[in-house]
Structure 1
Amino acid sequence: MSSYRELARTPGVGRIIAAQLTARFPSGMVSLGLLIHVEHLTHSYAAAGIVLAAMSIGQAAAGPITSRWMGRWGMRPVLTLLTALYATTIAVLALAPLPVPALIALGLIAGVSTPPVQSAVRTIYPKMVNSRQLGALYSLDASLQEIIWVAAPVLVTFLALQVSSVVALLVISVIALGGGAWFILSPEVGRVRIPRSRTALGRVLRKPTVLLTTGIGVLFIGSAAAIEAGVVAAFGEGGVESGLVLAAYALGSLTGGLGSGGIPMSRWSAARRLVIVAIGSALTLVWVSNPFWLAFALFIAGVGFAPALAVMLAGTSASVKFSETAEAYGWINTGQLIGAALGSMAAGFAIDGNGPVGAYIVSIAMVVGAAIIAAVFHRAFPDLRHRDASPIPDTEQLPVIT
């Protein structure tokens, strides 16, 4: 834990982590809030699902592009514009009784305008701490984001069902504005300038680490989405058991992430940590109807979750130029969004055919696939045991007067 104490004493680290978590908090609220609101408005879960799909498509398509914009026009202008557009769109969705086609269009706009805070902050990190602290900072970031996925759904469900779905969406809009302003006005955001990328959009995917991490992210996050669908199918959305089991998953991830911050990352680290997730996921099949056993199994799976994500983040940082980091993280986030959609869809079909156990099998298959890919292509990950995770410096030719 000494690495975390050292991080806590580093000026600005605590502030930027708190600000980015607040700015990203709406991402854990908006899907459920929008689902409940559109269903209440249209009395159709199909319509609500289409609106959510439009938002997800917008996020996945725009992520690499808006992340790349930060190198062209600066982080603050891009984040300010997108935060204002996103918050306004959510507010309009809350207040305007629109027909379904208009709701779908607004869902798409909300997805496209989702601020790339995640890409921004992970680009800032290497400029805030020394190279020796960077691995621990990525582990801390991957761990603390579990707060979003535990607290945000609980808050938005309470507001939407106990107060009003309109109020729930307005709260999302307000948090997006407040958290976004806190992050945008943070001194670190103003001090760090991302160099303009000189390569074409998508060229960063030619880097083996970025392509591998994006591909693994599809399976890795898809596995988590399938597990969540299986748990909800087993105990119901409002069941206490569902909350217990999913909270254990998040607690395991938080524990594993904080505990692994000081462990050096080798080329095999991603595969090893994904194996832990696979073992925990496989244990769900031992006693599929017992919530306490499932909580134990998913706690074990969670112990490998944040550490595996931290390896992929640090490996990406060390493999690309600083001007490419934001776009690289944008592509990784797009892969994760696609994985979440595919995992949920596959789990839905499996649940219809075999019940919750079908979703668990889908989850196990996806994370085992991720572990196998990470092992087979382990050489694509940089060995960070004897080097830091700082991005490759940008260089250019300078004219020489002779």
Structure 2
Amino acid sequence: MATYYVRSGAAGAGTGADWANAYTTLVAALAGKSAGDIFYVSDDHAESQASAMSIAPPGSIANPTPIICVNHLGSVPPVSADLRNTATVTTTGTNNISFSAGGYYKGIIFNAGTGAGGAQIIVPTTGTSVLIFEDCSLRINSTGNGKIVLGNGGVNLALVELINTTVSFAAIGQGFNVAGAAFRWKNTASALLGTIPTTLFDWVSGRGGDILLRGVDLSAAGSGKTIIGATASVFGRFQAIDCKLNASVTKATTPNGPGVLEPEFYRSGSSGVNYNLNETKYSGTLDEELTIVRTGGASDGTTPLAWKIVTSANTTWYTPFVAPPIAIWNDTTGSSVTATVQGIWGGGAVPNNDEIWLEVEYLGSSSSPQASFVNDSKADALAAAAAQTAGSGTWGGSTTKFELAASFTPQQKGWLLVTVKAAKASSTFYIDPKVTLT
């Protein structure tokens, strides 16, 4: 393992042996080096290149190369107190910055492009890559429709992680372009700088992505902005967990078909509450509901809650809207158990069992953990529908109460997963996400 120094203002031999003889560019410093080498970049490093820049550290997915911004006037070798976040690496004109292989970047600002061009930041350009950016910033400074590209189309086995790392754009047509990578972004305050894109994440058709945001402040994206654009022929995941959002932002555009990526927002919102929930699917949407709630029903401990399910015109018995599972512990074995969920809607009569129902996943075998399933929908595609049972309790709105209930005999103690499915098109249901076992 060798140590190298990078400082644009160095005037020595350019060997990287120390600050006086440091490499003056990061690209030159990385060339020809070995996995396990470490690179220290000066806090006053300001590198600029008028051509496309390819940053290819010698590390691997198992051993990413550390490239760390530090105080060049501090300890040698640097210690924790010397960490800084002020080094800059820049391309001008329409020139991209691209990353490959395995690299851990700390405290560096990457600036792509100037003027009216469409420069991009591409992470990564090759497959089998791990790229981690901590205390960094990825910035597109040209005003064309450049993107931060995650995966670059044909890349597989790529992980990109941003930790306390901001992004900045210069035009509303910019944003992230998801093209196959697994992307993790966490623990970032004021994450969006510069001009806020109209759509923050869009997708390359036919290329999915596994996108997970945790503890990211996206509140700069407000009215007229959308976090997740419409998805077509895209498979993968988008989850935002414990994120700060603007109250006026559109979380997600309705997906263009069933089975494609369906954005999920958990405990992510604009105010200091812990119950926010949103799912956007081809078959409908689900949001938390605070007014039409059932007395004595679900609560976060203080605030009564319900789920508002609004089905789309695309919903059918074959392709219903599927709500998140409600988990409840079961201690009964060898005897019948009934799981019941209460709901209400404005349909004038209780809904039929092919319009809304519940499904219970339980441990029905004493000899294996293979799940068993039971539901209270109609028996099969050719069976006649029947009305669900009238519900109980006091609700804060809507008109017609109903309950969903299924009986089964568990053979092991354990968690039950109770899932509500709604299939009546263009309808609104309110569900109390509190399961009663009898």
Q: Same fold (TM over 0.5)?
A: no
Determine which structure has the larger helix proportion and give its number. 1
Determine which structure has the larger strand proportion and give its number. 2
User: Per chain length, whose mean CA-contact separation is higher, i.e. which structure has more relative contact order (CA < 8 Å, sep 6+)?
Assistant: 1
**TM-score relative to the length of structure 1:** 0.21
